[in-house]
Structure 1
């Protein structure tokens, strides 16, 4: 079984990662700021789904396939970079009139889930992160499935908790500054720049 000290170290490592700015955080913040808290939480659900997939793929050893076949890694990496550039462009297209009035429609919520899944799933480094981190806390002397389920649940659950916090915080800040056109333009530019920078970093980051 996984010992309590190992679990604490695992949680601490995840906390440090989830506190670092990145495309996942930017997606939740921007979605919540421009579409409202519900859509922000839906984006968080999409990220949780993708992280669950990454944990499963890591357990199946498919991350090793990326390592032994760099071309596959590069294909996913380029698709991920292209998708982040698409998000950057889409962010710039958000009209000033769009915001909390249209935040709670089902379509936008489903779109937010899809964006969350795609943003994380098309980042092969997220899969490699799971593949490198989880085995450090796995003991071959005990049930591997139970250990992966435990650690995977913590990884996904803690990530969702942070994303939900970011979504609610961004929503409150957006409401406070909703009357400022200048602030909205600055926010759009900031998030589109973050997505663009993340795309470039992913594209040229190599293996």
Structure 2
């Protein structure tokens, strides 16, 4: 008898909270992997597209509304052993956005929260969700290289130091302050000076900026291959 695979959608939702990169996770309330951390997601229902499945599961499991997020498909995972219940193929979706609210657990979810992305977290995820998270995070970093999405994490007007911290958190690097400033100011249309100065900490007030009209950076913010590297230029 032919076993036809079932389809699911899983979501990797990333944000910055408390100066840390965090991912939205749920604690599963049923088997398999009951009590384990997992990405939000679930099975395709009749009459749905996978994008609609992703949006529905996000709301049902965490209470977050996908309408304010841009869900980007990031991968297809089809290992025959990835789900102990049956043959399941999943499509993963990535969303990265600032200032996302606290989630609330839905039915069959014990709890849901924002978890800091670190090595220990990868060891505790159900199914193959560690691989899905790792792949999506690489795509999030590529978006910072290729687009101006980093500015959306800063409340306008913002300092260049605030923007630099966004890149450091998501890319897992340290960026030389002066070289970062020269780089972002050297990209035409990336930032626009607001005409104001300000400071959110000790030290001299710095110039305040807004996001410019340019959306594609074409790799001009490329990071090194080794995490934690001090970027000099």
With structure 2 as the length reference, what TM-score do the two structures score? 0.22
If asked which structure has higher relative contact order (CA below 8 Å, sep 6+), I would say 1
* Greater Cα radius of gyration, structure 1 or 2: 2
Greater share of residues in helix? 1
Greater share of residues in strand? 2
With structure 1 as the length reference, what TM-score do the two structures score? 0.24
